[in-house]
Structure 1
Amino acid sequence: MKFRKVTAIIGAAVMMMSLAACGSSNDGGSSDGGDGGSSSGGSINVISREDGSGTRGAFVELFGVEEEVDGEKVDNTTTDATVTNNTSVMLSTVAQDPNAIGYVSLGSLSDDVKAVKIDGAEATAENIESGTYKVSRPFNIVTKDGLSDVAQDFINFIMSTQGQEVVADEGYIPVDTTTEYTASGLSGTVTVSGSSSVSPVMEKLSEAYQELNADVKVELQTSDSTTGVSNAVEGISDIGMASRELKDSETSQGVTATVIATDGIAVIVSNDNSVDELTTDQVKQIFTGEITSWDEVTE
């Protein structure tokens, strides 16, 4: 009797577990986390950068999201886009959302996200250099006349073979140079501010420079390209960082841009998204709101 009771209880438990399992497999969920990115045709969540970001400025120009209307440049990024204010937030936002799409500096890519091919080309420094991957832009430093000796010395290091070796080691395309750098023996402080895309390689350049010049301190403040240019114009910083070309309205204020590297812009999705490749036109249509579902790029 006791044996039959125990058997009946076990049988009932097994039935309940089976029903629960069936229910969980038929409630709209999927093994890729519910929406599952492109694999289930979810709505595309567009993630963009803030106004003033050099990465956004270069991205909208290169993909045709920005158009000229009556002599004025208009950014047509969809109003449904979620706006992030720096590179790290962009990366984490896209990484956590299987339906998200965004963009970052090639040198800032991490394994937490996936860079999709554009027109069949992978986002690599080699493909940028060969011209296969066409989504690239300059990294600029912005200065005006009257630089201190120590600020000029730091720039001399950046543009030297030693400085450009740091650039290459960080995954960017260096500028051609044969100039060797010799430590100056100077002391003082150099202030640098601006683009969050340029900031990672600038941090490495600062560290390498300070190893050779122990009495110099390089202070690095990260914001955006527009702020970097403004700070250089106003003398708040010795050097501004901009991950785009300067506008005529900026150069007219007495500052000069110097290219220190060439960077690519990677279009990124979550690792849980099955999309591996997009065309330039598809990226444009996604970011202008013409394409709103992953089904439209996987059919």
Structure 2
Amino acid sequence: MTTFTHANLPTIDGLTVTLDNGVAVLAFDRPHRRNALHRPLLDGLAQLVDAATAADDVRVLLLTGRGGAFCAGGDLDALKGMEGESADTARARMRREFSTSTRLVQSPKPTIAAIEGAAVGAGAALALACDVRLGSPSAFFAAPFVSMALVPDFGASWLLAEAAGAARAKEIAMTGRRVGAEEALRIGLLHHVVDDPDATAWETAVALAAAPGDAVRGTKALVAGSVTRTLEDQIECEIDAQVRAVASPSFAAHRAAWARTVRRD
């Protein structure tokens, strides 16, 4: 059995990691820099996401930020020297760092982002890579790459378009403007605006962790794959998944509990 609590997890400067009730909380913790990403954080984040995904005692991943910000993107002061890298070195480094977004999207386990304040640049991408995004009224997204003569990274160009549509994503990314909480909710960057996103995210995570795990993971996989399938192909995938679900011991137990609930109602 692979466990998260006893795994050989790295200690990462700027990231607090806890596990409770099956929920692994990865909290950006550099409040003096609005939780901007520096090299130790970038080097270890993908490894921690992999460890949480593989661990049997983790059922949900929750990303958040301490000190009133989610993540202000890359810490440019701490990442100096990139200009002198060779093209091959830069590509290898970027593949390693940017893969955190891919790992979150492809994790079979549900992922939740609790967003207060800034979700900017790479921080916006990491938030958008999560399945459920809850923001406070102070939350905002921005992709200000163009202002630094850069292009979107960490998958932000894909993730923005996936959440808000390509036309709106181009406008947000090319202008680099702030998208406040209410607009983010309206266009799909946020799913809910709540007064305390950490508390609401925790309640959501605990509920998901207590739900039948195979059904939660199967639902995530079905919906994620639907965008590349025809309706007919999607229904075939649903049939295959449902046949496996009906044959599982979990279905029999939960069906009986559901029937008791319906009778009480």
- Structure 1 length-normalised TM: 0.23
* Between structures 1 and 2, the one with greater strand share: 1
Where relative contact order (Cα < 8 A, 6+ residues apart) is larger, the structure is: 1
- Structure 2 length-normalised TM: 0.25
